[in-house]
């Protein structure tokens, strides 16, 4: 494992229901085109407000995945 090379991409997930679901939605979408995702790092948490209530949360992630040889 010591010679692995990873790529990190930055994805923003959204959800009306909360921060964790926004992360799940981001990973779920990313997994359609990326294999071998290994970890994520939350870099930003924000949200949009409508009529004084949260319309949706928006969480920015860096996702690391293994580059195949």
- Contact at 8 Å (CB) between 45 and 57? yes
Q: How far is the CB of 5 from its own copies (least distance, A)?
A: 4
Q: How far is the CB of 60 from its own copies (least distance, A)?
A: 7
Binding mask 1-40 for its own copies (x = CB under 8 A): xxxxxxxxxxxxxxxx-xxx--xxxxxxxxx-----xxxx
From the list 12, 2, 3, the residue with the least C-alpha distance to 63 is 12
In this structure, the number of other CB atoms found within 10 A of the CB of residue 60 comes to: 17
Name the site residues for its own copies (rule: CB under 8 A). Answer: 1-16, 18-20, 23-31, 37-42, 44-49, 52-56, 60, 62-64, 67
């Amino acid at each position: 494992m010591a010679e692995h090379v990873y790529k990190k991409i930055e994805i923003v997930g959204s959800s009306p229901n909360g921060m964790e679901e926004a992360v799940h939605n981001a990973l779920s979408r990313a997994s359609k085109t990326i294999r071998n995702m290994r970890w994520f790092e939350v870099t930003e948490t924000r949200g949009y407000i409508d009529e004084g209530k949260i319309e949706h949360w928006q969480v920015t992630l860096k996702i690391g995945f293994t580059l195949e040889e």
